[in-house]
Amino acid sequence: MAILRILTIPDPALKNPAKTVGSIGPDTAEIIRDLIETMRHHTRCVGLAAPQAGISLAIVVVDVSLYPRKFNNHGQLVLINPKITETIGNIMGREGCLSVPDLTANVSRFEKITVEAMDENFNKIKINTSGFEAVVLQHEIDHLSGLLFLDRVTSLKTDVFRRKP
């Protein structure tokens, strides 16, 4: 296992859509392990998408269960080829990202979502979630389309903030 190097803006690779994963093999399993280890390595990191590590595959890992404020959640998730299939409501919240290390921003997201994906064993799964976990999943799934949270900001002037050291 390894701690992967995180790409940061303005790296153009962050804007490229990820490739669909066709099957799970030893290389894919290693990538998943490395993504989890990298996520755990970064303090307060609750999610990571493969493209953030320069890996153009539709894989995200998420775990909000260790976040200082406990929320309802599904624990550690590995999602391959995830798609958001249902959305309800809207919430506004402050987001940050390892790929945008110096900034945070107010971002509008769906309050409740349903995600369909494959798990690490390539079994179909369906997750219904809300609140913080839903926001994190939307953030990470955006990375698979080449979107950063800054692309979702209404006003760069009033909604983007320098991260406090």
Residue positions counted in the chain: 165
Q: Select from 80, 98, 92 the least CA-distant residue to 132.
A: 92
Residues tagged active-site: 140
Residues 6+ apart with CB under 8 A from 26: none
Tokens coding 79? 């999602």
Among left, alpha and beta (phi > 0; psi -120 to 50; other), residue 115 is beta
Say which residue the tokens 């958001």 belong to: 84
Query: Hey, is 12 helix, strand or coil?
Result: helix
